[in-house]
Amino acid sequence: MNRQLRLLPRAIASARSYSTGANATTKLFINGQFIDSQTSDWIDVRNPATQELVTRVPKTTSKELDEAAHNAHLAFGDWRRTSVMTRQRKMLDLQHAIRSHMDELAASIVQEQGKVLGDAKGDVMRGLQVVESMSGIADFMLGSKLEVSADMDTYTVREPLGVVAGICPFNFPAMIPLWMFPVALATGNTCLLKPSEKDPGAAMLLAQLCNDVGIPPGVLNIVHGAHDTVDFLTSDPRVRAVSVVGGDKAGKHIYERSAQHGKRCQANMGAKNHAIVLPDANKEHALNAIAGAAFGAAGQRCMALSVAVFVGDSGDWVSEIVARAKELKVNGGFEPDADLGPMISPEALARAKALIQSAADEGASVSLDGRGISVPKYPKGNFLGPTVIDHATPQMQCYQEEIFGPVLTCIRVDTLDEALALVNANRYGNGASIFTRSGASARKFQSQVDAGQVGINVPIPVPLPMFSFTGNKGSFLGDTNFYGRSGVNFYTQLKT
């Protein structure tokens, strides 16, 4: 039986609590219940591989948004008084439930977002790791105590903020919500979560699992929509803090609007992640790692490796990157041979194609052009094949802008110092990597590169959740990062 047919019935069975009938609509999740929105304004969610309508997402009404915030505010009073051991137990139960429903969650992601099944499971797994880390929340919540004189002690306790909001992007429908609401809930807050209007299914399944493990009504609420919903979450006085992952325009708007209304905000935004390749690198390892990091998940991830900087003679290896990229299979996400699936929308595809064309127009070599790819079984899909742009320069539009597709831009320089200067001059700072056998070169890169996350012979240096996601420069706004101890600090305040 086709893998898609084995997985989807289970996913649909789990989804019945938030979708209805043949013309499925996504429900709201307020005060522990899935409810139909009374809106007259809906957003279509289409399968990126087929353009088939999957569900319709409501633009939540102002009355419904107020109801969600009201219930989150009421629930906070009791939830904050639960013991840290109780909240820890809920995180243990939730991680078990997520692990048990991995296939359903992954199937939803493939259907709505387009990832291949392996990448969809990885999406869930990386979020699950955050939930697992919050199963040790007691240690994160420890305060400090000091005897400051013979008859006086001073000590601190860490307390929740209240109602917090999470605003999620389309590219990680499970992982990004799981960066947010488990940390918020484990620290004693209640949460208003807005999944992406392009692929809300995984978040809704997670809400069902929260119900299943007994997280009380009102502690997690899910609302949908676009600009009006975002503006409500960033301005309502009951919301104390806002987490957002998204593009530059959305992230800056949300950060500035949150600040104007006196809220904490952490905003992960765009990226242009570089890998420096030295001639002494292990060629096979470097090229395989770069190919996977550049083209996996159709390049739609904020830590995708989008620029390879070849130093000296390593520039001769570009043709071998092209050869590896040609071997990757582009197909629907449920197909067993698929290495990468479609892009999220026709608009995203058109934008990526335009940036590839701009590279050619500005004098770069498009060594591998994925724009003409044919996927016979899915003729309507938003497919872009792996693309390699060579002999690019930092002034070109393909370098300056985040393409967010399966496109690798290659730049050639003579020395490591030139490569470092190039990386450090870029306005983004999510991650950077180097491929080398030289300990001295690796140490120099590690100490001098200006990026928040650094890999040595590692193409995508995303930290596990015992650490925090520490993008910097133009990739992040705020002063406290996502998950790990930084995430706990974001969702709590000290009392002395």
3-state secondary structure 373-436: CCCCCCCCCCCCCCEEEECCCCCCHHHHCCCCCCEEEEEEECCHHHHHHHHHHCCEECEEEEEC
- Name the nearest CA neighbour of 205 among 343, 26, 7: 26
347: how many CB neighbours lie within 10 A of its CB? Answer: 10
H or E stretch at 54:
strand 53-58
d(CA 101, CA 428): 36
8 A C-beta contact, residue 190 and residue 162: yes
Backbone angles phi, psi at 413, to 5 degrees: -135, 170
Active-site residues: which are they? 302
**Encoding tokens for residue 171?**
């590219």
The three-state secondary structure class of 323 is helix
**Encoding tokens for residue 247?**
């593009």
Helix/strand number for the chain, H first, E second: 17, 23
8 A C-beta contact, residue 155 and residue 145: yes
CA 178 to chain centre: 10
Tell me the DSSP string of 76-106.
Answer: HHHHTTS-HHHHHHHHHHHHHHHHHTHHHHH
- Name the nearest CA neighbour of 182 among 173, 172, 193, 171: 193
- Name the nearest CA neighbour of 264 among 83, 23, 479: 479
